[in-house]
Amino acid sequence: MPPRQATDITAAEIKAVQKTEPPAVDQQLKVVDMGKYNLGVGVIHRGPTKGVGPVQGVAHDKTAETYVILSGSGTLVTGGTIIDPKPTSPDSEGYKVLNGPSVNGTVKDGYHRKVGPGDVIIIPPGVFHGWTEITDHVDYLSVRPDPDRVLPAGYVNPVIKK
């Protein structure tokens, strides 16, 4: 059954999670059982990228992501061919809480575009995504529909759990 109540994630909750020490790169805020699927919402921080070289990134086997850029800017690279993909460990937080099964690697022939506050990017399952040319930071929300229910329904980030 889908929920009968809306789920809120307040600006104060997002800020509280972003202020954890040491700063986390990718944190799930909440995962909601929507009936036919789960829906996760995370907040992600990327610091400056170093130097020039192959773009590192990830592709999630079962979950899509929609990015809503909150602050900062950089070049987001999507698509292309993942070189030497390595599966994430089933014991990792990324697998259990954030995105389910995924692969990491570098990309060949990805699509590069500059993004900044207010931009929205929709990334289907299996599509590589990684960052380059971040001079200061980029912070964004990631909305993660999960039709295969690989994310833990009912999860609430411990920083905001009441």
Under the banding of pLDDT at 50, 70 and 90, the label for residue 131 is: very high
Under the banding of pLDDT at 50, 70 and 90, the label for residue 71 is: very high
Q: Domains in the chain, ordered, with CATH?
A: 24-146 (2.60.120.10)
Place of tokens 């789920």: 7
Output the pTM of the full model.
0.92
DSSP state, 155?
A: -
Q: How far apart are CA 158 and CA 149, in angstroms?
A: 21
pLDDT of residue 23: 67
User: Does pLDDT of 140 surpass 80?
Assistant: yes
